Amino acid sequence: MARGLLSRLAAAAGGRARAGAGGRRGLAGGAGVGAAAVRALRAETGAPIGEVKAALEAAGGSRAGALEELRRRGLAAAQKKQGRAAREGAVAAVRGGAGGALAEINSETDFAARDARFQALALAAARAVLAAGAGGELSPAALRALPLAGDGADAAALGGGETVGDAEAWVGGQLREKVAVRRAEAVVSGPGGVVGVYTHAPLAPGVGAQGALVALEGGGGGDEADRVARQLAMHVAAAAPAHLAEVPPEALEAERALLEEAALAQGKPAKIVPKVVEGQLRKWVRSQCLAQQPFVMDEDRSVAEVAEAQGLTLAGFARMKCGEGLAETAAPDFAAEVAKTLEGQT
């Protein structure tokens, strides 16, 4: 009897061991998917391990098929997040040839903006704008439609898509939050010119909280021209000019009307108001135009004078601060919400 009991216990223990080993194999590899393949694809894509495993299973263990499945799932996830607010993010600034470009990409959290994939998207968007070869501003739709530039490195690093919009959707799917291209702008310096580039509060090379560009013509290039161009880009970031050399007539007249109204409201005699306003208007114009602004590193000279000292002429500028102009959403008043709920229950 004792021998029979020992035999039954040994058989039961062996069955549990086999079942446990089988269960562990099932957890590690799934239906025909090895743990090594799951780990390798997770390291390659950064996707959650559960989604990597499911994608491999759906693709029958094929790496290429799993990558396509993960991309499809990422696009679907990104689409669901389009209604969310995205006010964090970063600005990328690049230059090359005779031009430079800025691109702002927004996210829901500053944590996402610190991710290498998000920063790669920002730089890729700016490079795509630069490769397009035209100056001026681009709308989000126009930016999304641009093909990814370069030798394919940007596309390979951003999910294998063809356009900035493809890369935007892929990064949003990877980060599990809304990622949105907001705006872009390019400047062109022309032959023999130089473009100064500056990023403030950098998160990575060429990516920061703010970006600025200055395009200069003449001078023939060289290290000194590059140094001055960078300093002028820093000035643009700090002084935030609105115009290059002149204020448009309609903006000038609007400001004049406001100043006249303010002077009369302060009780100044009507006969001296025009003279007072003209003085205030000259000061305002100087603050608005890059060429006329006092240089932040030497306020005895204007920006135009600093450029001219190097044989350079101001040709254009661009400045972007992440989140600037986006409407803020007030934090929820939880006490008021609770009070409203209680009122409804009485």
The CATH number of whichever domain residue 305 belongs to comes to 3.30.479.20
Same domain, 289 and 200: yes
Q: What's the domain count of the chain? A: 2
List per-residue pLDDT tens for the chain, 346 residues long. Answer: 445 544 554 554 454 444 444 443 333 444 567 888 888 877 776 677 887 788 888 888 888 887 777 767 665 555 555 556 668 999 999 999 889 999 999 999 999 999 999 999 999 999 999 999 888 999 999 999 999 987 778 888 898 889 999 999 999 988 989 999 999 999 999 778 999 999 999 999 999 999 999 999 987 778 999 999 999 999 999 999 999 999 999 999 999 999 999 999 999 999 999 999 999 999 999 999 999 999 999 999 999 999 999 999 999 999 999 999 886 544 444 455 445 544 555 4
Report pLDDT for 325. Answer: 87
Measured CA to CA, the distance from residue 242 to residue 79 in angstroms comes to 35
Q: Is residue 215 assigned to a domain?
A: yes
Q: Residue 260 contacts by C-beta under 8 Å, 6 or more apart in sequence?
A: 273, 274, 277
Q: Residue 240 contacts by C-beta under 8 Å, 6 or more apart in sequence?
A: 319
Same domain, 169 and 51: no
Same domain, 73 and 97: no
Q: Is residue 267 assigned to a domain?
A: no
Q: Is residue 146 assigned to a domain?
A: yes
* Max Cα–Cα distance, the chain, nearest Å: 123
Which pair of structure tokens corresponds to residue 129? Answer: 């704008």
Q: Is residue 270 assigned to a domain?
A: no
Same domain, 108 and 39: no
Measured CA to CA, the distance from residue 27 to residue 34 in angstroms comes to 10
Same domain, 62 and 44: yes
Report pLDDT for 331. Answer: 43
Same domain, 64 and 198: no
Report pLDDT for 88. Answer: 93
Report the CATH number that the domain containing residue 49 is assigned in CATH.
1.10.8
Same domain, 47 and 143: no
Q: Which domain holds residue 158?
A: 88-257+282-321
**Counting beta carbons within 10 angstroms of the beta carbon of residue 344, is it exposed (0 to 12), middle (13 to 18) or buried (19 or more)?**
exposed
Measured CA to CA, the distance from residue 43 to residue 240 in angstroms comes to 42
Q: Is residue 26 assigned to a domain?
A: no
Which residues are registered as beta bridge partners of 197?
Answer: 213
Could you say which of 80, 113, 142 is where a domain stops?
80
Same domain, 152 and 44: no
Q: What's the half-sphere exposure (Cβ side, CA atoms, 13 Å) at 127?
A: 19
Report pLDDT for 276. Answer: 94
Which residues are registered as beta bridge partners of 101?
Answer: 94, 186
Which pair of structure tokens corresponds to residue 346? Answer: 């009485």
Phi, psi of 195 (to 5 degrees): -115, 125
Same domain, 38 and 161: no
Q: Is residue 1 assigned to a domain?
A: no
Measured CA to CA, the distance from residue 51 to residue 176 in angstroms comes to 12
Report pLDDT for 147. Answer: 95
Contact 238, 221 (CB under 8 A): no
Same domain, 70 and 188: no
Q: Is residue 290 assigned to a domain?
A: yes
Phi, psi of 241 (to 5 degrees): -65, 155
SS (H, E, C) the chain: CHHHHHHHHHHHHHHHHHHHHHHHHHHHHCCCCCHHHHHHHHHHHCCCHHHHHHHHHHCCCCHHHHHHHHHHHHHHHHHHCCCCCCCEEEEEEEEECCEEEEEEEEECCHHHHCCHHHHHHHHHHHHHHHHHCCCEEECHHHHHHCECCCCCHHHHHCCCCCEHHHHHHHHHHHHCCCEEEEEEEEEECCCCCEEEEEEEEEEECCEEEEEEEEEEECCCCCHHHHHHHHHHHHHHHHHCCCECCCCCHHHHHHHHHHHHHHHHHCCCCCCCHHHHHHHHHHHHHHHHEHHHCEECCEEEEEHHHHHHCCCCEEEEEEEEECCCCCCCCCCCCHHHHHHHHHHHHC
Q: Is residue 102 assigned to a domain?
A: yes
Same domain, 75 and 103: no
Same domain, 75 and 203: no
Buried b (16+ CB within 10 A) or exposed e, 191-215: eebbbbbbbbeebbebbbbbbbbbb
Report pLDDT for 32. Answer: 64
